[in-house]
């Protein structure tokens, strides 16, 4: 059962990148993020009592607000803007460089960073440059890729900053707090999103609703169940499959054709993340030993 939930999570997360591309046909980057998380927040609010979601402690409110601003509002807004200038396939790989930056930010809060993490970061960034070079235009770093890198940095900060909260709260509680506070930050764009929905094409609107219900609310619920049954380190390995699956979906759904240069860059990103992940696990094991 845990691996069925894990499979569902990976498929849903992978599908979000091409779905964002479809939603952007009618909605702006900020409108899409606001509408997506308004839907997700409503669903999580309905199921929260069933999962025993507690009220956060007063001393944790500032950190929770930072998580919502970074991991929801900033990350998803930058991701959406990035996809307006790149492909869904490129977005899926570049956004998943977040673990490379997480290791470096962890050092800033007193954790040990291995040389392998630096090597992984270098290889991963080379991969990002190759992916950018594979996109139409001049052989330079695409502006959308820069936005996606910023999104990955926001997502990595989310992972690092949530660690103190996970001592007292469950992963689902932290996720709910972040989604709800992030939705509040995006609320400024919700009226414009509602106005756009009145005239937007049905395909784009269905895509945004899909994003709010399945890749966000349902996938987070599945992921929380997975983490309650499987160790974080083991589950994290499977997330490497997300950009690979997403690229296949983008090919079938949007007709995006990966080039040889893109494939080399994508492979470099995965290799960099794998090296960094392996190095960090070795550091943790030595610390425990």
Nearest to 36 by CA among 192, 194, 211, 178: 211
- For 256, phi and psi rounded to 5 degrees? -75, 125
Mean pLDDT by 10 residues, the chain (289 residues): 90 97 98 98 95 94 96 97 94 90 67 70 89 73 86 90 90 94 97 96 97 96 87 77 95 94 93 80 52
Half-sphere exposure of 239 (CA within 13 A, CB side): 20
Going by C-beta distance under 8 Å and a sequence separation of 6 or more, which residues neighbour residue 12? 214, 215, 218, 219, 222
Q: How far apart are the C-alpha atoms of 94 and 130, rounded to whole Å? A: 11
Would you state the structure tokens that stand for residue 285, as one six-digit string?
């094991």
Per-residue model confidence (pLDDT) at position 116: 73
Per-residue model confidence (pLDDT) at position 108: 61
DSSP string, 128-145: HHHHHHHSSSSSS--HHH
Structure pTM? Answer: 0.92
Per-residue model confidence (pLDDT) at position 163: 85
């Amino acid at each position: 059962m845990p691996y069925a939930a894990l499979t569902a999570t990976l498929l849903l997360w992978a599908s979000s990148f091409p779905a964002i591309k479809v939603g952007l046909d009618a909605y702006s980057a900020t409108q899409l993020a606001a509408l997506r998380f308004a839907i997700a927040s409503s669903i999580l609010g309905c199921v929260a009592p069933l999962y025993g979601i507690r009220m956060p402690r007063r001393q944790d409110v500032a950190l929770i607000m930072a998580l919502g601003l970074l991991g929801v509002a900033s990350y998803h807004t930058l991701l959406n803007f990035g996809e307006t200038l790149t492909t869904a396939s490129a977005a899926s790989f570049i956004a998943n460089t977040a673990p490379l930056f997480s290791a470096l930010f962890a050092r800033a809060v007193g954790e040990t960073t291995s040389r392998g993490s630096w090597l992984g970061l270098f290889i991963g960034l080379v991969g990002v440059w190759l992916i950018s070079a594979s996109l139409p235009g001049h052989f330079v770093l695409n502006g959308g890729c820069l936005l996606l890198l910023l999104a990955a940095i926001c997502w990595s900060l989310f992972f690092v900053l949530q660690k103190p909260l996970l001592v007292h709260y469950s992963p689902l509680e932290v996720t709910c707090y972040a989604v709800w506070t992030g939705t509040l930050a995006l609320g400024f764009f919700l009226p414009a999103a509602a106005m756009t929905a009145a005239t937007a094409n049905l395909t784009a609107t269905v895509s945004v609703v899909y994003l709010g219900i399945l890749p966000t609310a349902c996938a987070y619920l599945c992921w929380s169940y997975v983490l309650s049954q499987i160790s974080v380190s083991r589950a994290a390995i499977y997330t490497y499959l997300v950009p690979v699956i997403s690229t296949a979906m983008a090919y079938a759904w949007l007709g995006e054709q990966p080039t040889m240069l893109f494939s080399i860059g994508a492979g470099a990103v995965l290799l960099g993340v794998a090296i960094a992940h392996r190095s960090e696990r070795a550091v943790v094991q030595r610390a425990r030993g």
